[in-house]
Amino acid sequence: MDLETISARLSALQEAGLAAIAGATDPEGLETVQVAYLGRKGELKTLLGGIGALPAEDRPHVGAIGNRVREALEAALDARRLELDAAALDARLAREAVDVTLPGRPFRRGSLHPLIETNREIARVFGQFGFVVYEGPEVETDVRNFQALNIPPDHPARDLWDTLYTDMPGYLLRTHTSPGQIHVMQQAAPPIRALLPGRCFRYEAVDASHGFEFFQVEGLMVDEGTTMADLRGLLDAFAHAMFGGGRPTRFRPGYYPFTEPSVAFDVQCVICDGAGCPSCKRTGWMTILGAGMVHPVVLRNGGLDPERYQGFAFGMGTDRIAILRYGIDDIRMFIENDLRFLEQF
Ligand code: PHE
């Protein structure tokens, strides 16, 4: 090989090397090119291996060209490596980018059902007077739901409660929370101050103000010397706590087989303040509960001596109290589980 040929081959090698470097698209590809051109068995080494065949005076010249080719290729490799690294970094940043300006995903917060909220508020108010919460079963005996409450089988007063019976004779779905009175009297000794919230069931056509399933809160106080005035004072305090201080209240005569005397407890209409409106059927009053002095027969059925103890009891519909507090016009909303409704409380 002569000087001219070897020079030409060196510059051809440089050109091919530069093209290969430019064509490498990733760090591994670049590594392969480097080995192929500059490695120990690479093209440059092989070509310069033929230098021994040249005349001595040409060798330094060829050596210098060879060095320039290596330097040019090394410089191109370094530059290309930087480029590829930068591109890889850009791609990774783009892939892992987080847009911190995106609004967060909204958090759904649960809240208490308005009926639970109302039950708790009722329990809180009576709790201030020493009333303790008890619970009775939803499936009751005919005895506790009716007979022990002074309502014998076939008594016409049973018509006040349209009852859902079970397949098991003698068992029914409680129509009110009053059987809880019997449970408490049999469990606890006077003085008794019990509050019994619970779900009740009646065989009723469902409309805006009646459900076949609803909540009641029962109250029972039994002690020596308990009077109707105690009942009146307690219910006044309750009405004022729930519906605002100073709101007028009244007792009207009522009838329940398990209380004597029995009353209906009214508060001045919370919608029209007594002026008369469709909600209070233009009377200016709304009945919020039934109450009375516990009948001696009921005290005896609860295992207490009516000569020694007197008591009062009251029962209210949680749904009704909640309707008045929140200004809702359809109790079916309470059991339909529509979040648009429930989220307003
Ligand atoms: N249990 C009666 C009802 O469901 C309400 C009531 C309770 C009345 C306690 C008097 C005493 O209608």
What integer pLDDT is reported at residue 102 of this predicted model?
87
Q: How many CB atoms lie within 10 A of CB 46?
A: 10
Pocket of ligand 1 (CB under 6 A): 176, 178, 218, 256, 259, 290-292, 313-315
Q: Report the first-to-last Cα separation within the chain, whole angstroms.
A: 97
User: Which of 158, 162, 178 to probe ligand 1 with, by most ligand atoms within 8 A of CB?
Assistant: 178
Q: Whole-angstrom Cα distance, residue 292 to residue 308? A: 18
Give the ligand 1 atom nearest the CA of 315. 7
Give the Å distance between the CA of 319 and the centre of ligand 1: 15
If you average pLDDT over residues 64-89, what whole number do you get? 90
What integer pLDDT is reported at residue 327 of this predicted model?
80
What integer pLDDT is reported at residue 47 of this predicted model?
82
User: Which of 149, 161, 176 to probe ligand 1 with, by most ligand atoms within 8 A of CB?
Assistant: 176
Give the ligand 1 atom nearest the CA of 200. 4
Give the ligand 1 atom nearest the CA of 291. 10
Give the Å distance between the CA of 291 and the centre of ligand 1: 6
What integer pLDDT is reported at residue 325 of this predicted model?
86
What integer pLDDT is reported at residue 63 of this predicted model?
86
Q: 261: cis peptide before it, omega within 30°?
A: yes
If you average pLDDT over residues 193-221, what whole number do you get? 90
Where residue 4 falls among pLDDT bands split at 50, 70, 90?
confident
Where residue 333 falls among pLDDT bands split at 50, 70, 90?
confident
Provide the residue ranges of all domains of the chain, joining segments of one domain with +: 3-95, 114-342
Where residue 223 falls among pLDDT bands split at 50, 70, 90?
very high
Where residue 8 falls among pLDDT bands split at 50, 70, 90?
confident
Distance of CA 79 to CAs 19, 65, 70, Å? 13, 21, 14
Structure confidence by residue, pLDDT tens digits, 257-314: 999 999 999 999 988 889 988 888 999 999 999 999 999 999 999 999 999 999 999 9
If you average pLDDT over residues 321-333, what whole number do you get? 84
Whose Cα sits closest to atom 5 in ligand 1? 315
Structure confidence by residue, pLDDT tens digits, 136-185: 999 999 999 999 999 998 888 888 788 999 999 999 999 999 999 999 99
Q: Please spell the DSSP secondary structure of 198-238, one letter per residue.
A: EEEE-----BTTB-SEEEEEEEEEEETT--HHHHHHHHHHH
User: Which of 173, 234, 256, 319 to probe ligand 1 with, by most ligand atoms within 8 A of CB?
Assistant: 256
Q: Where are the beta strands (DSSP E) in the chain?
A: 132-133, 139-141, 171-173, 192-201, 213-223, 249-256, 259-268, 285-294, 310-317
Mean pLDDT rounded to a whole number for the chain: 91
Give the ligand 1 atom nearest the CA of 294. 11
What integer pLDDT is reported at residue 329 of this predicted model?
76
What integer pLDDT is reported at residue 48 of this predicted model?
83
What integer pLDDT is reported at residue 212 of this predicted model?
85
Q: What CATH number does domain 114-342 carry, 3.30.930.10, 3.90.110.10, 2.60.40.10, 3.40.50.720?
A: 3.30.930.10
Percent of the chain with pLDDT over 90: 57
If you average pLDDT over residues 323-330, what whole number do you get? 83
Please state whether the predicted TM-score (pTM) of the whole model is above 0.75: no
Where residue 111 falls among pLDDT bands split at 50, 70, 90?
confident
